[in-house]
């Protein structure tokens, strides 16, 4: 007795078989994929084509949805860039970032920490102490870091909200090769920031903020340890 694999191999090697056996093709019945009744090969092929078309339409709708979401995000990033350009000082640039990320990107908790600049002010939260391990971690990041756990002491930067936070993102702030700070984002939603998410727009926001803040900051070389 022939195996199904042998039958399939024979048909692949003899594409004219059904042309020479038309009666067999017309009378051949196979089970309907969504029911017990038998259908002809033509009907089965039509069902298969319809299912494939439906899957392609679903995929197209999904891609269109992603495209529309990206257009919306791109517009928000553009408007953030415009507002940061208008900021006429360090405080104004920070306030713009905080308000824009909350109001337009719906990020409920935002913190910025800066180091290695001449303008450091211990009375300002953005210039608060940051452990060397944290600074080294940020400096070595090659992309925004997202996940369900805060990195080092960054959890404490969110004050009273810290116990309720479930997801985090860190974005390095750089001028050239010099890393001078970090943008930290957090949410009570565990799915807001996750390891597998795309980080293109987070990178762009970080670059924009770094440029805006860098206009008002003077980097200093830290002494060798």
Q: What are the C-alpha distances in Å from 136 to residues 16, 104, 215?
A: 69, 31, 23
Place of tokens 């010099």: 178
Long-range Cβ contacts of 32-41 (<8 Å, 24+ apart): none
Give the per-residue pLDDT at 214.
93
pLDDT in tens, 99-109: 999 999 999 99
pTM of the model: 0.72
pLDDT in tens, 10-62: 878 887 776 676 666 556 666 656 555 655 556 656 666 777 888 888 888 87
Helix (H, G, I), strand (E, B) or coil at 14: coil
With vertex at residue 95, the alpha carbon angle to CA 150 and CA 166, rounded to the nearest 5 degrees, is: 20
pLDDT higher than 50, residue 225: no
pLDDT in tens, 89-134: 999 999 999 999 999 999 999 999 999 998 877 778 999 999 999 9
Q: Bigger pLDDT: 36 or 82?
A: 82
Pairing relationship of beta strands 167-175 and 145-147 according to DSSP bridges: antiparallel
pLDDT higher than 90, residue 86: yes
pLDDT in tens, 190-209: 999 999 999 999 999 999 99
User: What is the DSSP secondary structure assignment for residue 117, as one 8-state letter?
Assistant: B
pLDDT higher than 50, residue 173: yes
Q: Bigger pLDDT: 41 or 74?
A: 74
Q: How many CB atoms lie within 10 A of CB 202?
A: 22
């Amino acid at each position: 007795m022939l195996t199904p694999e042998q039958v399939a191999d024979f048909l692949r090697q003899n594409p004219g078989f059904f042309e020479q056996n038309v009666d067999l093709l017309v009378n051949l019945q196979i089970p309907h994929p969504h029911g017990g009744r038998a259908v002809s090969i033509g009907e089965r092929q039509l069902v298969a084509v319809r299912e494939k078309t439906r899957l392609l339409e679903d995929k197209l709708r999904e891609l269109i949805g992603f495209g529309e979401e990206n257009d919306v995000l791109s517009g928000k990033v553009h408007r953030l860039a415009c507002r940061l350009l208008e900021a006429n000082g360090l405080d104004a640039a920070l306030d713009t970032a905080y308000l824009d990320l909350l109001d337009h990107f719906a990020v409920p908790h935002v913190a910025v920490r800066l180091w290695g600049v001449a303008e450091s002010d211990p009375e300002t939260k953005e210039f608060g102490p940051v452990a060397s391990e944290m600074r080294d971690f940020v400096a070595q990041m090659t992309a925004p870091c997202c996940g369900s756990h805060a990195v080092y002491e960054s959890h404490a930067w969110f004050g009273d909200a810290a116990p309720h936070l479930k997801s985090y993102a860190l974005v390095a702030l750089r001028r050239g090769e010099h890393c001078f700070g970090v943008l930290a984002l957090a949410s009570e939603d565990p799915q807001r920031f996750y390891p597998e998410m795309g980080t293109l727009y987070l990178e762009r926001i970080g670059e924009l903020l770094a440029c805006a803040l860098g206009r008002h900051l003077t980097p200093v070389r830290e002494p060798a340890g």
